[in-house]
Amino acid sequence: MEQSLTLKTEYGLSGTSLRFGAIAYGCWRFAGTDVATGTAKIETALESGFTLIDTADIYGTTWPDGFGEAEALLGDVLEANRGLRDNMVLATKGGIVPGQPYSSAKSYLIKACEDSLTRLKTDVIDLYQIHRPDLLTPFEEVADAFNTLLSAGKIRSAGVSNFTTAQTAALQHYMDRPLVSHQPEFSCAETAPITDGILDQAQENNMVAFAWSPLAGGQLVSGKAEAPHADKIKRIVPVLDRIAEENDVDRSAVALAWLLAHPAKVVPIIGTQTLERIRSSADALKVKMTRRDWYDVMEASRGAPMP
């Protein structure tokens, strides 16, 4: 019988002692609730093994007025539950500026990071990421901001999100320490990181590839697929459902397992706000998927057999 693909259960950030589960919990949709409800979500994520918590300064209930709300709620959760901070790897992002739309100027990034520290009520951010590349700041200056934050002990590691491989290499050129992570959109409906070089660069440089919207923002599971993914999702869903039935798990577990099976250090960041769905996401780690199963999903996504 064909061997199933290995799903790793834990990863680290290079150059640090930080370790975390192979699925992460994301706070994009986290704001707009009370501390007790927020605490229940974070505790459920940690208990499920999702020990990297990803947020961003821009996450809130509304755009752009909700800037800072998700970090502030997480900060309140951490303040109310003193032990929690030590049990998580805390990741956040800065660099999207309402109305501009981006800045990675050194003075801006340093202030943005300090504001995140204040809202999160913590002394140090484990992973600080630039949310989207600012096309107007020289890479040398962006690196200077990261180098300053690292050497001041305000952040333990630095990463990028929505960067191309060339932008990442240019930034790395000026960094004192390795960039430890990418964060692209990646799901069976959005497979660009497989072919645009992001996952290759992640393997080459020992970076973690955090996959945002790993269920395509819920479209893979809700039955409400929208353009540009709708046709693709119609093809993918029956394949996921077949593998789900064989493994006695739900479709979302298979969609996550498909990401975990890639040989790069892919860490899906789940975004459900439902405690039961947070817990059941851990079923992804039980999925036994063969090479043929994996390529069946890839071919359904492509809409054509592999060449």
Ligand X SMILES: NC(=O)c1ccc[n+]([C@@H]2O[C@H](COP(=O)([O-])OP(=O)(O)OC[C@H]3O[C@@H](n4cnc5c(N)ncnc54)[C@H](OP(=O)(O)O)[C@@H]3O)[C@@H](O)[C@H]2O)c1
Shortest Å distance, C-beta 39 to ligand X: 17
Residue 28 binds ligand X, judged by CB under 6 A: yes
CA atoms within 13 A on the CB side of 222: 10
Site string for ligand X, 199-228 (x = CB under 6 A): -------------xxxxxxx--xx------
> Does residue number 271 form part of the binding site for ligand X (CB under 6 A)?
yes
192 near ligand X, rule: CB under 6 A? no
CA distance 119 to 113: 10
- Binder of ligand X out of 98, 274, 295, 303 (CB under 6 A): 274
By C-beta, is 168 or 272 nearer to ligand X? 272
Q: Which is nearer to ligand X, 64 or 140 (CB)?
A: 64
In the numeric block, the tokens 């046709």 are attached to 231
How far apart, in whole angstroms, are the C-alpha atoms of residue 282 and residue 22?
10
- List the one residue from 154, 177, 242, 277 that touches ligand X (CB under 6 A): 277
247 belongs to the binding site for ligand X (CB under 6 A):
no
Beta-bridge partners for 10: 21
Query: Which range binds ligand X by CB under 6 A, 23-31, 100-108, 257-265, 288-296?
Result: 23-31
User: Does position 92 bind ligand X by CB under 6 A?
Assistant: no
Binds ligand X (CB under 6 A): choice among 273, 275, 279, 299: 273
* 186 forms part of the interface with ligand X (CB under 6 A): no
Cα-based angle 65, 66, 70 (whole degrees, multiple of 5): 165
Binding to ligand X in span 106-165, by CB under 6 A: 131, 161-162
- Residue 51 tokens read as 């020990």
Q: For ligand X, which residue has the nearest CB?
A: 271
What CA–CA distance (Å, rounded) separates 203 from 253? Answer: 24
Helix axes 69-80, 35-47, angle to 10 degrees: 80
Q: Which residues are catalytic?
A: 59
Quick one: which of 131, 152, 130 has its CA closest to 141? 130
Tokens linked to 130: 């630039």
* Least Å from the CB of residue 35 to ligand X: 18
Contact between 42 and ligand X per CB under 6 A: no
Planar angle of CA 225, 186, 19, nearest 5 degrees: 135
Mind spelling out the 3-state secondary structure of 175-193?
CCCCCCEECCECCCCCCHH
Task: Give residues in contact with ligand X (CB under 6 A).
Answer: 26-29, 54, 131, 161-162, 183, 212-218, 221-222, 252, 269-274, 277
